[in-house]
Amino acid sequence: MIVRFLFRHQTFFILSLLFLCPKPASAIIIGFGKAGKIEYNLKTGTFNVVNGAKPLLLRAFSQAEYQKKLFSSKDYKEITYRKQAVKDGFGNGFKHIFLLKQTGLPEMLQVFYTYSGKDYFMMNLILNGADLSINHIVPLFGNLIDQEHANVPVSLFVPFDNDTFISYNTVPLIANVSNPSAEVTALYHDQSRKGLVIGSIEHSNWKTGVITTMDSDKKISIKTICGYTEQSITRDKIAHGYLKGNSVSSAKVFFGAFDDWRWGMETYAKLNRISEPPIIFNWNNATPVGWNSWGAMQEKITLEKANQVSDFFADSLKSFRSGGVAYIDLDSYWDNLLKGGLVGDYSKLKAFADHTKSKGLKPGIYWAPFVDWGFAGGGNRKAEGTDYTFGELWTKVSTGYHDIDGARALDPTHPGTRQRIATVINKFKECGFEMIKIDFLGHAAIESDHFFDPKITTGMQAYKTGMEFLLKQLDGKMLVYAAISPNLASGRYVHVRRIACDAFKSIKDTEYTLNSVSNGWWQSYLYDYIDADHVVFSDQSDGENTARFLSAIVTGTCITGDDFSREGKWTSTAQRLLNQTEILKILEDGKAFVPVEGNKGKSASQLFVKDLGSVKYLAAFNYGEEAKYLTVDFSRIGLKANKQYHAQNLINQKTAAFKNNQTINLAGKDALILKIMPEK
């Protein structure tokens, strides 16, 4: 019976016997949390991770590549152990250091971090030697043990960025399936919600790939690769850059087992924010709401139309405020208002900013600081505000350059790129803008054969130095919103980050946005806010408009996008939906709703919940054409099955009793939001 059980959990029988037998004297046992243990074998350079009597990870080891030779901790014969107390932002704990030595190989240190009361651990791999040059380092490589043999586990794909309309995905792990994910993954079962979360919590040097694979024997392996590039994920066309020196460290990797994978992802996000604290100034104001021109106006921006939008918000959307504030943000094509290009006359832009402020609103602007849109015109064009040509600024990639989204990447370390940024940002500050939406930031993170600054050797290092320079120019004067950008590495540099790519008005746009929220809501704990982007109503059905509006509420902020300089169905829709103060109150804490269900592939959960004090909010969506009944299981949304509640539909204001397994009837392409409270 034991043998059959172990085989069903993808474990070699002989390894399992070793696991169940008394530990040899060469084993170092490291405890963490309530029942967690890391069992390190000093003779083999491998380790197991268990939770009580349950194995989580078997025969794990570390690996790296040096001078085109792949080697691992299993190749070392001399291994010693020591530990030291640590006290840092994560808490009080211990640093467990395994020093590995072997003739002909760099000195290796496998370092584990455990903290008092924390049911997870972190680890990194350090290589020491003379003049090392490393671009592939694997701190964690081993066999995961799925404790629930009754159901197929799913592996979460997290994109590196939110470009090219990429989606999150939940991939069922069956034989011969591999799921590469950027920076982090979760391996979980949706029904029980139990799962493992593994991912990098450092992003200043490395791009990290987390690869989950089930082989033909149904064994599951996990591999964390620092130095991971893949064009369809990281956008890179060349290999990862090299880290150099006498000591090279991997990113720190997080490993945790959770009764609810959703709690695990939120924990992971919070640790990222501790590991790499925000550099941007603290945001102590209200959750941002407002308008952005890219939703509908796009290239038709004029000063008159922009001012008319401010007038509409002042006159017709008086309740659409957060902390008394709304932002009116001009996106791409704001340069329609310039004379003489980026170094020319900004008087019309200043007039817009002044008019917006006169209406009690805050003006915003847009820019993509690390791209050249006009590269087709050749490299001899002078870069604005500099004595350099654009050709000198372009990021060098193999025999060419990096082009994506119709724009060419600019080297963030080049003095010309920096002078151009300083020039334009100073113009924005002189105009009095109080918000900036920055876009196509992924171009700054691309790998290059060589950056202008020779000390910068990887894309993430380039991104870090570029964003730090940009923030210095902004000088704490504006709310900073990132559009297209790296998912995890941007947390220290911006206040708000768009959760998905462009989404507009259809129910499919809503579903696409909520795919990212269903699988990436946890970024609420990495950023001050995540956003659903421009919410466009246009002339869509009332149900689709409700769904699009609620997709923003579920994400945690609300930026609208219709052309309010002219009349249309969208103006009356906006007045009906955006003035609903009871719904807008939900945004006050700035946090996203939590998905009720996972494992939706590239689709999205239909139910989302949020707790505010004694009140629970439940948002429900129907992405299909036909009407649908959704059954609400109280155990899945955190309500007591034997208790009755009352629920108010905040869209139509109707109130009714709410019981376990009650059905919600939703028309096709529609949504609702319920305010659920205990009956008195």
Each residue of 54-104: pLDDT tens digit? 999 999 999 999 989 999 999 999 999 999 999 999 999 999 999 999 999
| Mean pLDDT, rounded, for 16-37 | 72
Return the CATH number of 2-275, one of 2.70.98.60, 2.60.40.2300, 1.25.40.10, 2.10.109.10. 2.70.98.60
Mind listing the pLDDT tens digit for each residue in 481-496?
A: 999 999 999 999 999 9
Q: Which CATH topology does 607-678 take? A: Immunoglobulin-like (2.60.40)
Give the whole-angstrom CA distance, residue 378 versus residue 389: 10
**Nearest of 496, 555, 503, 557 to residue 528 by alpha carbon:** 496
Find the range with the poorest average confidence among 21-30, 71-80, 352-361. Answer: 21-30
Residue 451, CB-side half-sphere exposure with 13 Å CA sphere: 27
- Would you state the pLDDT for residue 526? 98
181: left (phi over 0), alpha (psi -120 to 50) or beta: beta
- List all residues 6 or more positions away from 342 whose beta carbon is below 8 Å from its beta carbon: 335, 384, 385, 420, 423, 424, 427
Q: Residue 6 pLDDT more than 50? A: no
Mind listing the pLDDT tens digit for each residue in 194-211?
A: 999 999 999 999 999 999
Residue 294, CB-side half-sphere exposure with 13 Å CA sphere: 18
Give the whole-angstrom CA distance, residue 279 versus residue 493: 6
Give the whole-angstrom CA distance, residue 672 versus residue 649: 7
If pLDDT is split at 50, 70 and 90, which confidence band does 435 have?
Answer: very high
Domain residue extents for the chain:
2-275, 289-578, 607-678
Average pLDDT, the chain: 95
Q: Residue 4 pLDDT more than 50? A: no
Tokens of 635: 């155990």
Do domains 289-578 and 607-678 share one topology? The answer is no
Q: Residue 631 pLDDT more than 80? A: yes
- Could you tell me if 64 and 48 are in contact, meaning their C-beta atoms sit under 8 angstroms apart? no
Task: For residue 617, list its beta bridge partners.
Answer: 610, 675
Give the whole-angstrom CA distance, residue 459 versus residue 447: 4
Give the whole-angstrom CA distance, residue 550 versus residue 651: 10
Q: What CATH code would you report for 289-578?
A: 3.20.20.70
For residue 105, give the 3-state DSSP assignment. coil
If pLDDT is split at 50, 70 and 90, which confidence band does 148 have?
Answer: confident
- Would you state the pLDDT for residue 25? 63
